[in-house]
Amino acid sequence: MNNSASSDFASTRCCLLENRGLMPYLEAWEWQKRLVSDRKLNPALKDVLILLEHPPVYTLGQGATTEFLKFDPTRREYELHRIERGGEVTYHCPGQLVGYPILNLNDYCKDLHWYLRQLEDVIIRAVGVYGLEGTRIPGLTGVWVEGQKVAAIGIKVSRWITMHGFALNVCPNLKGFDRIVPCGISDQPVGSLAQFVPTITVEEMRHEVAIAFAAVFGVKLVNA
């Protein structure tokens, strides 16, 4: 298969767009699990793209180590949850656009590396609208702009149905990242799009990410 989903999907496959505002992490997590469970029972259900923000929260991947926390996990300022995605610790907060695609990869390409590169392509396309060049670093997952990591990606796939996804730093307060070694990478600074486009907003990026997602995965987004 080519590096993007078949253009035939655009006319035949719809993906529900769930635009939400600030949502507690545990609520969004349970929502994702319900959507995945429903699609395991009925694979014909439409795919879903959830776009939202979270209050401050730290999450650890399934096999993540606590050595990348710079605080005592039993005495913490914000929520901390160990979840089933891959990867190490990351931080979510307002001003960061989080995307949770619930896709049945049986209908796209059953290859996790392909899927990760597609998610990176979504971010690269979206930031390109603002004249920013999103780049990859070989051997790592995510998107960088001028050496600053602006997007982290962590996924879980079960029976080829995806959950979790990407987090794009649009205009967040980055201080929460100082309390961790983000994604276990100590030599790659975390940045935000606002460092390059000071007036940028989450709502603007929500729109551009949705357009880029539809183009990369070859789907028609419809409001849920």
15 is catalytic: no
116 in Cβ contact with 94 (< 8 Å): no
DSSP string, 63-130: T--GGGBSS-TTS-SSEEEE-SSSSS-EEE-TTEEEEEEE-BGGGS-S-HHHHHHHHHHHHHHHHHTT
Is residue 9 scored above 70 in pLDDT?
no
Residue in 15, 109, 171, 183 annotated catalytic:
183
DSSP state of 180: B
Name the 3-class secondary structure at 40. helix
Class of domain 9-223: alpha beta
CA 84: distance to chain centroid?
14
pLDDT of res. 8? 47
Mean pLDDT across the chain: 93
Average pLDDT over residues 56-78: 89
Is residue 164 scored above 70 in pLDDT?
yes
Backbone angles phi, psi at 119, to 5 degrees: -65, -40
| Helix/strand number for the chain, H first, E second | 4, 11
Lowest pLDDT segment from 12-16, 20-24, 25-29 = 12-16
DSSP state of 31: H
17 in Cβ contact with 49 (< 8 Å): yes
Q: In this predicted model, what pLDDT tens digit does every residue of 176-200 receive, in sequence order?
A: 999 989 888 888 899 999 999 999 9
Q: Is the CA virtual torsion 201, 206, 211, 213 positive or negative? A: positive
Q: In this predicted model, what pLDDT tens digit does every residue of 209-219 receive, in sequence order?
A: 999 999 999 99
Task: Tell me the domain boundaries of the chain.
Answer: 9-223
DSSP state of 181: -
201 in Cβ contact with 170 (< 8 Å): yes
Q: For residue 223, what is the enclosing H or E element?
A: strand 220-223
18 in Cβ contact with 51 (< 8 Å): yes
What is the model's pTM?
Answer: 0.92
